[in-house]
Structure formats: C-alpha cells, structure tokens
Structure 1
Amino acid sequence: MPSPSPSPQLRVLSRRTVKPPPRPRPRPRIPLTTWDVSFLSADYIQKGLLYATPPFSTARLLDHLQTALAQALHAYYPVAGRFATDQHRDAHGNVLGCSVSIDCDGQGVDIVHAVADVIPPDADVPRLVQSLFPLDGAVNHDGHHLPLFVVQVTELTDGVFLGFAYNHALSDGTALWRFINVWAGIARDSLSASPSEEHKHAPAPPPLLERWSPDGLTTPTPPVVLPFPDLTGLIERLPPPPLRERMLQFSAHTLEALKDRAREELLAAGDAAGAAAVTKFQALSSLVWRCVTRARRLPPDQTTFCRAAINNRTRLRPQLPPEYFGNTIYAVATEAVTAADLLERGHGWATAAVGRAVAAHTDADIRARVAAWMASPVLYNLRYFDPNGIMMGSSPRFDMYGCDFGWGAPLAARSGKANKSDGKASLYPGQEGGGSIAAELVLTPEHMALLEQDDEFWAAVSPDKPCPPAGKN
C-alpha cells in the first residue's frame, strides 16, 4: 500500500483494519457508472480536518473512531469493498469488453496512527501537510487491491489531524462528506450517555446505493461494458509539476462586493438578465480566472476557459436525491475567449460567462455527454487539465465544519497533493462562516509569484489569519 509522504517530521506507529458488520450472502456487487469509471485513472481524494487535542488518551481516540466507523459502514458498506473487473464474452467466447463493479464483501477500510511535529506557520500551505494524508500516489484503479477509504490520525504537538484518502471512483465529494458527517455523528452521540432531547441528532437518511443509468435508477443497475479486455492499459500515473498552494479567505462582505461590481458592469452593458443571475460562486470564479490569466502573462491571442465541477443531481430529470451515493459531476466550461478579450471585457462579463456555462448544463446536456462518453470512453487524469485555463473544484456547500467527532468542531480544512495542477482552485466553507469562502489555489511557483503582485486580486482576499491553536477550542 502506498504510504504517507516521506518526512523526517512524521512517524507511522500503527495500522488497523475496520470492517462493517457481516452481511448475508450472496455478497452484493454494484456496477460503476460512466461517471465513476471515468475517474479510475485519477488520484484518490485527499481531504482532511484539523482538531483540538481530544480530552482523552490516544488509545481511546483510536478505539472511539474505529467503533463509530464500523457502525457507519453498516449503511455505507460499499466503502469497505474493493473494485472487481469482469470480462464480457459473446456466445463463442470472444471478449466483448469489461466492466468494473464494487465487490461489497466487507474487505475493510484502514485507520493509520501517526505522530508529527507542529505545522510551521507559512503563507503557503506547508509541505508537512502533504504527509498527513495516506495513499499518496495511489490512483482510483488501485481500489482493486487497496482500501477504498483510509483515514490517517496524526497527533500534532497541539492538536490532531484526520487525513482522509477516498477513492473518487466510488463517489463524488457530496457523497464523501455526507458519509464523514454520518461517521462523525455516530462518534459524537456515543460520547453522550443520555443526550438531552434538544441535543439528540435525527438519523441521517441512508445512502441511495442504486446507480444511475440513462434509463434512471434501476435495480439491478446494468453494467457499463467498455470495449477493452481490461482497463490497465488506460491507467496513467502522472506526477504533477512543482507547485505552490495557498489557502485564501474571502469574507461574505467581499463576496457581496464582487457580486455588486459584476451586476453594475453588466447593467451598464445592457445585460439585465446576466446581472440578475449573478452568484457569489460566479463572481469569485471571475476574479480567479481573470487575475490568474493576468499573472500567467498569456499571449493576447491565447484562448482560455474557466471550468467548474458541477453537481448533476438536481439538474437531471427526474432529479437524483441528495443522498445518491456515487459520482454525479461534470466539469462545465465557459465559451473560449482570448486572454486579451477576457481582461478587456472585465469582471462583469467573465462572471456572466460562468453563469451561462452553469445554466446550459441541463438534463439534455448531461445525457448527451453520457452518450458521447460511451461512444469514446476516456479515463481522466492530470493530462486533461488546461494549462491556460482554471478549474474550480470542491464546494463551499460541503459540510466540513459540521464533522464534530465528539470533542469539538474542526479548526481548519486542508487537502493533500492529489489531483492538483496549475490553475486548480478548490473551494471550502470559510472559517468565519456566514457565507464566507476559502479557496485553496494552486499555481506554478512563477505564476504564484506574479499573482502575489496583482492588486485587484489581493484587494479581495481577507488578511491572512493563522489557524487557531489546535489545543484551544
């Protein structure tokens, strides 16, 4: 199994496997959809949360997390499975293709216990943070033999960090954070012998494990048969180039100001419909897109796009419920625009361009993309990131700061080095709440150095505030 990033500041002390309660035979198999299979060459998701030191021993902490995780896996049993590839043959025994499914035999997930030195303060995200995540270098296809979920519990001198490595072919971020919140809720409730009525938590709706196909939700879900005997020849492992990353805070006030500025520019240009549709996400995407384009010093005639990961659940007809467990995301893109035109047209135009891309992502568009992918299957990885554009990923709607395992809410959210490239911005809920947003921005060192000189960008960024001491609530 790939181990945490080598670091003289981190020591792995133990590893334990957690399994769900036994299920009756025959063991279920859940076929992966087009959305799931397309991630098999990408990295595991690496996200994590910093906490204050629990008011009990490390041994109790590990047992506490393990017991609650085993209970959470009762409903989320696919997380404890492994991938399996099956070949499909015609009547003469000729191989027609293959399909991938989740073998839900309760193989288990892992909890790793490690100890690290304190994370040093730095404007950039410190390199030590990368060692706080397991399965570094693993791609999702490795889920055939690696756990689909591993959590690394790292003791710091003044806190504890839970680093999650989660197979992206299993599900998207929406389903991941629902799962972690369910696990946290079980852990939290277990520390209260008899919680009062006002502190009791309603049980979360169970995950919807049936997979979507163009015919809707079907049981059993038909397998997606790809025209290859297996997928190993399509798997690429591409190390990212040297990158710098910064965690940037945008206050609710700043985001409203960005929205107002975009509205004013659009109204002045006669685009009342675009002005009425402006959102915080669109305005922030415009700021990042334009300022990163300026920092890159692209040739004036170089085309660029803004792409954004978008949830298909509410855009399908009929809609998928929030508890759908699987991948249901696409990356939408603005129309192509030259670097010169993007900067000349201004913040309002770029904001509206992002809005148009989101609005065009309808049920018909989703189904057309599924059909196009089936006609020419592709496994996505870093090769598909546009070096001249930006990509807005993750979501400030994910309930990261609700993941209280029983000794307090998280103090900060961070990620590992997986799935990162020049121009990737991952959005998180802001630490101050109230509609604020944090953006984890990744650029090459030379591009980050030039962005740091961009007055328009830094006028919108809230002053750096260090994470509160992990030993304090």
Structure 2
Amino acid sequence: MANFPSLKVIEVSKVSPPPTAAAPISLPLTFFDLFWLRFYPIQRLFFYEFPSNQISSYDVIVSKLKSSLSLALCHHLPLAGNLVWPSQSDVPVIEFVEGNGVSMTVAESDDDFDHLSGNGFREVSDFHPLVPVLTVSHDRAAVIAIQVTKFQNKGFSIGITNHHAIFDGRSSTSFIKSWAQICMEESSVPTPKQVPLYNRSVINDPKDLAKIYAKAWKDVEGPNNKSLNLKFPQTKHGLVRSTLEFTHQNIQKLKEWILNKKIENEKFDSSSHISTFAIATAYLCVCTAKLEGLKEGKLWFVFAADARTRLKPQVPLNYFGNCVVAGFVGLERSELLSENGIILACDEISKAIRNLDDGPLNGCESWGSRMSQEVTNDYLKMQGISLAGSPRFGVYNIDFGLGKPKKVEIVSAESPYVFSLTESRNSDVVMEIGVVKKRDEIEAFVGIFNQGFE
C-alpha cells in the first residue's frame, strides 16, 4: 500500500479465525449477489474519539480490534475467504480454507480529525487514504479489507471495504455490529439475532436467474470471460463532500404542508400514508431539479429496498448475502419545479414502494444484462439519482467499547448522483444525507436545501 502525504502505514497483517473454527467451506453466489459481480466495492468509514483516559493505549485498542475480529470471523468464515470462479462451476463461489484471513492495515494520519468527521465541506480525495484497497485479480477477489487509522491524540477511524457481490448493507452492518459486540464484551458469542444464516436454499430461483446473470457477465468482452476484476467509475476531480440533516421539525413541516395541499386539491389522494423516506427522497429530487434548472425529459430516481420481507416465502432477516431489489421512478422535471413538485414526487415514490411490496421481482430476467452493460460502459447511463446506505441500519450504535462513532461516512458514495443516507447521533435529526458535488454546485445545493424549509 502506498504512503499518502498525510498517512504513514505502520503495518499490514492478516487476521484469521482461530484454527478450531476453520472447516473449509464453499458458498455459491445467488442471482442477488451476481447482480453486483464487477460493481465497485462499498467503503464505510467510522470515526471514533479517544476518551481522555485512552490516548496512551492506542496499541491496546488495535490489539483488541484484531483479537475480536479473529473471534467474529469464527461466525463469518466466508469473509476470511476469497471469491473464485471454478472452471466447472456455472457461478462464482466464495471459498474458505484454513489459513485464509482478512487484511488489516494499521496507519497514522496527520490530517485534521475534527474537520474530516464534521458535516462541513471536505475534499472527497481526503478520505481515500483512510479506506483500504480490496485485493482483486482476474481469477480471485478478497471479500473484505479493514484499516485502522490513528489521528494524533484526537481519535481513530475504522475503514471497511467490502465486495458488493458478497453481501448487502444489512449483512455488512450486522457483521460490524457482531465484531464490535465481541470487542466490547470480550466474549466470542454473538447474540442469536447476529448469527448469520448462509443457507442459499432460502433464495428461491425457479427461473435460473443465477445462470442468466452469470452468462451476462461472461459475455462481456468474451464468450466465456470469467474475470473477477472490478470496474471502477472514472475518477472525477474537485469533488466536495458535505452532510445535510433532516430534523424531525423539517420532516413534520413538509408532511403538514403536503397533507394540507392534498386536502385543498381533490386531484391528490389524501388517504394514503406518507412515509418519512418518501418525503425525504422526494425533497432531494425537487432540490436536484432546482439545482439543474429546467432540462428536457425526466429526472430518474432509483432506490434499493430489502427484499427479505417482500419475497414469498420470506427470507429470514439474518440471511447473509445480498437480498435487495430496486424501485425506479421517472419524474417530469417541469412538474418537479412546479409548486406541487414535492407532492407529485412523494406520490410516485410511494407508488413505487407499493409496487415492490406486490411484485419485488417483476422484470428481474433483464436485470443482470442491464447491470453488466452499464458497469462495462463506465456507469455512464447511471445518471439518475440513487441512494447508498439506510437510516435503518443503526450504524451510530456500533460501539467497540470506546463509545459510539462521532461520524459515519460512506466513502464509496462519491458521485454527484448518489446521496448517502444514515440515521444520526443527534436525537433531533431523523437522518443525515451525504452529498457529493463540485464546490460551486454543492454550495448552491445546500442553499436550496435549507431554503425549502423556510
């Protein structure tokens, strides 16, 4: 790993589960996993402040993080393995053999901890040194990599990079919570809710979607291209990150305004429930339309939804892997810019959520080929707004024994078209929104966002 100007790498080691845990395993990918096969990895960053009495014991903290990670891997053996695509297999598999482990980097940074873990404008590139690179080649890919970085005597960060084809946000958060629990309690037993379920038979695949999606990837750049190399979007320079907050008061204000308008105007349905998610994302769509001004055509909004409770039969919540479906909403820009823009957006988003409840896999036969084409074309068609994360994951409750995180960032969400969503440390705030844009655009967007609540 290269040393960045403000980063000094102290060591890179491999953390393995205890030998007693290490029965070899092989786990095939499902169609939910294969959808993401060459998609860029997910990178999360947790900032923790040092309690005043802990400054001198950073080495102890690192040692505890390593030993608890080893114990957490007992229950998460696939994470210590590698993704491979055996010649005789239709789909890639995760293989774990004794001796496998997770790469952990320990580093020190002289960057400004308070600035990076704040809400204000921060250069996107300042976060890159703090998240580890996943080791990936044509025929083998690591599942996860971890980096712990100390900032002078202020605090430290834990950067986690994971392969998107191995698990979704629910599963990855569940693993991090399990690791933190073991670290805090110095016990090796996860709670029953945290014990992951790896049984692939709970994912029903009567249409053989796994083979269809696998073939779509193999057809990219060859008739039988089993490459596991990941495709990264082109780097955009000069991007700035900022965190905006939806307070309870903001959401309540928007909700009341929408309901009053619906009661006044008979063409709107005022009977159906409006979720906080629909209000918040509709508002982000309106702000985006205002920032971009009147353009031709539609503004597309794409969101992921957990399919575990939507599938029939339902998939247990502790199922470990990917299990998300996508909702698509096309909004006329001219309508978004009208006085009732947020109502129209809210109704369309609510309708898309209901459609997912009724038929989560509608149109799924074509998903694999669409994704493989878009990733191969450098994500160029992905110009609609999309989301990363969820306020339901509870990332601000992840305590390794040193208190809750000061800040959580989704570093991989660094496109002007992607908003990241998390809950907040602050009880007045319903959710935090991570926004990335060029400096002049982000300044304008923040102004539009704040103005709308007045």
CA contact (8 A) 2:34 2:214 kept: no
Q: Could you say what secondary structure the match of 2:416 adopts?
A: coil
Letter in 2 for 1:63: S
CA contact (8 A) 1:389 1:423 kept: yes
Residue 109 of structure 2 is aligned to residue 116 of structure 1:
yes
Identify the residue that residue 372 of structure 1 maps to in structure 2. Answer: 366
CA contact (8 A) 1:424 1:441 kept: yes
Q: Give the CA deviation at 1:273.
A: 4.7
Q: Give the CA deviation at 1:144.
A: 5.2
Mark the CA change 1:459 to 1:355 in structure 2 (over 3 Å): closer, same or farther.
same
Q: Give the CA deviation at 1:37.
A: 1.5
Identify the residue that residue 87 of structure 1 maps to in structure 2. Answer: 87
In structure 1, how many angstroms separate the alpha carbons of the residues matched to 2:22 and 2:182? Answer: 27
1:1-59 deviation line (CA, Å, top 9, x unaligned)? xx47x631111111111111336887221111122122122221111111122525222
Q: What is the 5 A alignment of 1:36-185?
A: 36-53=33-50, 55=54, 57-88=57-88, 98-106=90-98, 107-117=100-110, 118-119=112-113, 121=115, 123-126=120-123, 127-135=125-133, 142=137, 145-157=140-152, 158-185=154-181
1:128-179 deviation line (CA, Å, top 9, x unaligned)? 23321111xx59x659545322211110121111111111111001000111
CA contact (8 A) 2:413 2:419 kept: no
Letter in 2 for 1:61: I
Mark the CA change 1:380 to 1:20 in structure 2 (over 3 Å): closer, same or farther.
farther
Mark the CA change 1:280 to 1:143 in structure 2 (over 3 Å): closer, same or farther.
farther
Residue 204 of structure 2 is aligned to residue 210 of structure 1:
no
Mark the CA change 1:143 to 1:442 in structure 2 (over 3 Å): closer, same or farther.
farther
Larger mean CA deviation between 28-37 and 433-442 belongs to 433-442
Q: Give the CA deviation at 1:372.
A: 2.9
Letter in 1 for 2:97: D
In structure 2, how many angstroms separate the alpha carbons of the residues matched to 1:408 and 1:443? Answer: 31
Q: Could you say what secondary structure the match of 1:351 adopts?
A: helix
State the identity %.
23
CA contact (8 A) 1:143 1:167 kept: no
CA contact (8 A) 1:240 1:421 kept: no
1:274-326 deviation line (CA, Å, top 9, x unaligned)? 65321111111011111111111242x32112211211111111111211100
1:227-257 deviation line (CA, Å, top 9, x unaligned)? 6323329853332323322111221221222
Mark the CA change 1:178 to 1:424 in structure 2 (over 3 Å): closer, same or farther.
same
Q: Give the CA deviation at 1:190.
A: 1.4
In structure 1, how many angstroms separate the alpha carbons of the residues matched to 2:353 and 2:205? Answer: 24
Residue 232 of structure 2 is aligned to residue 237 of structure 1:
yes
Which of 418, 432, 436 is residue 438 of structure 1 equivalent to? 432
Identify the residue that residue 393 of structure 1 maps to in structure 2. Answer: 388
User: TM-score by structure 1 length?
Assistant: 0.82
1:63-88 deviation line (CA, Å, top 9, x unaligned)? 10111111111111111110110234
Residue 4 of structure 2 is aligned to residue 7 of structure 1:
yes
Identify the residue that residue 91 of structure 1 maps to in structure 2. Answer: none
In structure 1, how many angstroms separate the alpha carbons of the residues matched to 2:93 and 2:183? Answer: 30
Letter in 1 for 2:430: S
In structure 1, how many angstroms separate the alpha carbons of the residues matched to 2:316 and 2:337? Answer: 39
For the aligned residue pairs, the C-alpha RMSD in angstroms reads 3.2
Letter in 2 for 1:214: N
Larger mean CA deviation between 357-366 and 141-150 belongs to 141-150
User: TM-score by structure 2 length?
Assistant: 0.85
1:382-402 deviation line (CA, Å, top 9, x unaligned)? 844656531122101112111
Which of 20, 25, 38 is residue 28 of structure 1 equivalent to? 25
Larger mean CA deviation between 228-237 and 345-354 belongs to 228-237
In structure 2, how many angstroms separate the alpha carbons of the residues matched to 1:363 and 1:112? Answer: 45
Q: Give the CA deviation at 1:419.
A: 4.6
CA contact (8 A) 1:249 1:461 kept: no
In structure 2, how many angstroms separate the alpha carbons of the residues matched to 1:72 and 1:24? Answer: 11
1:386-421 deviation line (CA, Å, top 9, x unaligned)? 5653112210111211111112111111132x2532
Q: Could you say what secondary structure the match of 1:15 adopts?
A: strand
Mark the CA change 1:306 to 1:128 in structure 2 (over 3 Å): closer, same or farther.
same
Q: Could you say what secondary structure the match of 2:158 adopts?
A: strand
Which of 345, 349, 352 is residue 350 of structure 1 equivalent to? 345
Q: Could you say what secondary structure the match of 2:47 adopts?
A: strand
Letter in 2 for 1:402: N
Identify the residue that residue 196 of structure 1 maps to in structure 2. Answer: none
In structure 1, how many angstroms separate the alpha carbons of the residues matched to 2:19 and 2:7? Answer: 35
CA contact (8 A) 1:250 1:461 kept: no
Identify the residue that residue 221 of structure 2 maps to in structure 1. Answer: none
In structure 2, how many angstroms separate the alpha carbons of the residues matched to 1:275 and 1:47? Answer: 39
Q: Could you say what secondary structure the match of 1:256 adopts?
A: helix
Letter in 1 for 2:436: V
1:367-389 deviation line (CA, Å, top 9, x unaligned)? x3433346777366484465653
Q: Could you say what secondary structure the match of 2:386 adopts?
A: strand
Identify the residue that residue 300 of structure 2 maps to in structure 1. Answer: 305
CA contact (8 A) 1:46 1:165 kept: yes
Larger mean CA deviation between 253-262 and 162-171 belongs to 253-262
In structure 2, how many angstroms separate the alpha carbons of the residues matched to 1:25 and 1:71? Answer: 11
Instruction: Give unpaired runs (5+ residues) of structure 1.
Output: 89-96, 193-199, 463-473
Identify the residue that residue 323 of structure 2 maps to in structure 1. Answer: 328
CA contact (8 A) 2:48 2:155 kept: yes
1:103-142 deviation line (CA, Å, top 9, x unaligned)? 122511022111112236372134423321111xx59x65
In structure 2, how many angstroms separate the alpha carbons of the residues matched to 1:110 and 1:238? Answer: 24
In structure 1, how many angstroms separate the alpha carbons of the residues matched to 2:23 and 2:48? Answer: 40
In structure 1, how many angstroms separate the alpha carbons of the residues matched to 2:95 and 2:267? Answer: 52
What is the aligned length?
A: 432
CA contact (8 A) 1:305 1:333 kept: yes
Identify the residue that residue 468 of structure 1 maps to in structure 2. Answer: none
In structure 2, how many angstroms separate the alpha carbons of the residues matched to 1:255 and 1:408? Answer: 29
